[in-house]
Amino acid sequence: MSLPPLVEPAADLSIEEVRRYSRHLIIPDVGMDGQKRLKNAKVLAVGAGGLGSPVLMYLAAAGVGTLGIVEFDTVDESNLQRQIIHGQSDVGRSKAESARDSIKEINPLIDVRLHETRLDSENVLEIFADYDLIVDGTDNFATRYLVNDACVLLNKPYVWGSIYRFDGQVSVFWNEHGPNYRDLYPVPPPPGMVPSCAEGGVLGVLCATVGAIQATEAVKLITGIGDTLLGRLMVYDALEMTFREIKVRKDPEGEPITGLIDYEAFCGVVSVEAQEAAAGSTITVDELKDMMDAGKDFELIDVREPNEYEIVSIPGAKLIPKDEILSGRALSQLPNDKPIVIHCKTGVRSAEALAAVKNAGFKDAVHVQGGVTAWATRIDKALPTY
């Protein structure tokens, strides 16, 4: 959908800016007017990770005058495979500060504003209020719905992107002119159904493709050129190297968004069944180690995927992927004559598996809080984490 320019043009461009942005200025559709609009624009990136990295770097290079960053995390070595705004020397640093320094190296003319806080219902409206456009690069459903609802309430457009393994999705949402995220996904998927990138993985270069599309849409919205992805969902398959388009329309029966809610509860980070199963049936990795040292007879079940098991495993664990348990196909492999201890990477999937195991009659089963990650960080620090 073609839309009018999002912001008014700045008064002028300096000689330095004319030199820097000359390749934009000679494009008739951009020109001086478009570059002045970019200079005057304020764009907020939610997240400085896989998608936030190319978005921030390209918008900085393009001359977006003010870039805001919402990010509370620190740089981990596992981020470097895809989060290209950070480098080896940034490991352990604030992601927001690392991203700011990279942006300043790309373009010192940019005003970078940091919001080093976790976005929530208490602060989102205040943070978003100062920006013309939001770019969402988050990887959890609670924050996606929070971003959407805040943008609807503030009447702001935003560019949304999503990545998983080899697949990417991008769209533009602006409730005043077209659909919002809830028109595409009215309700979140059941907890545990869609793994995060940390659980399921992502091809590093996929972030570059999807993030570049997000940055392109941001430039188009700011300058008012071309047809945006408002009302369209772009789906990218990196393995097949295909792009396909899905029309997205406003849901005439959709519930109006009148306020913010408890998004963690709405999205159910862990299902009610899993929470109930885990209550009183959760052990720590220290307790698991004590059981092993005492020679207790129990079956340790790892419910991660085979490729994860190859990376790192707890000694003695038997691999039975979660879906095999939830479908019932693997229940016959579980012992009836000894306690069952279930673990995954962090404890989310194991809680879901625990609920299914208990429903099948294994009432004494427990799961391990923190999973193999906690084991590697607390018990056997020689093991890798991922």
What is the phi/psi pair of residue 341, to 5°?
-120, 125
Residue 197 bears catalytic tag: yes
Is residue 99 classed exposed, middle or buried when 0-12, 13-18 and 19+ CB atoms within 10 A define those classes? Answer: buried
Give, in degrees to the nearest 5, the angle at Cα 139 between 202 and 7: 115
Is residue 319 classed exposed, middle or buried when 0-12, 13-18 and 19+ CB atoms within 10 A define those classes? Answer: middle
Tell me if the domain spanning 15-267 has CATH number 3.40.50.720.
yes
Pairwise CA distance, residues 137 & 224, whole Å:
22
SS3 for 126? helix
Return the structure tokens found at 246: 């899905």
Domains of the chain by residue range: 15-267, 272-379
Identify the H or E element spanning 274.
helix 272-278
Catalytic one of 151, 207, 267, 344: 344
13's CB contacts (< 8 A; 6+ apart) are 21, 32, 35, 36, 39
Please state, as a whole number, how many other Cβ atoms lie within 10 Å of the Cβ of residue 304: 24
272-379 has which fold? Oxidized Rhodanese; domain 1 (3.40.250)
Catalytic one of 151, 197, 207, 267: 197
SS3 for 267? helix
Instruction: Say whether pTM exceeds 0.85.
Output: no
Digitized pLDDT (tens) for each residue of the chain, 386 residues in all = 889 999 999 999 999 999 999 999 999 999 999 999 999 999 999 999 999 999 999 999 999 999 999 999 999 999 999 999 999 999 999 999 999 999 999 999 999 999 999 999 999 999 999 999 999 999 999 999 999 999 999 999 999 999 999 999 999 999 999 999 999 999 888 666 677 777 788 999 999 999 999 999 999 999 999 999 999 999 999 999 999 999 999 999 888 999 999 888 787 667 778 888 888 999 999 999 999 999 999 999 999 999 999 999 999 999 999 999 999 999 999 999 999 999 999 898 999 999 999 999 999 999 999 999 999 999 999 999 88
Residue 267 bears catalytic tag: no
Under DSSP, the state recorded for 78 is G
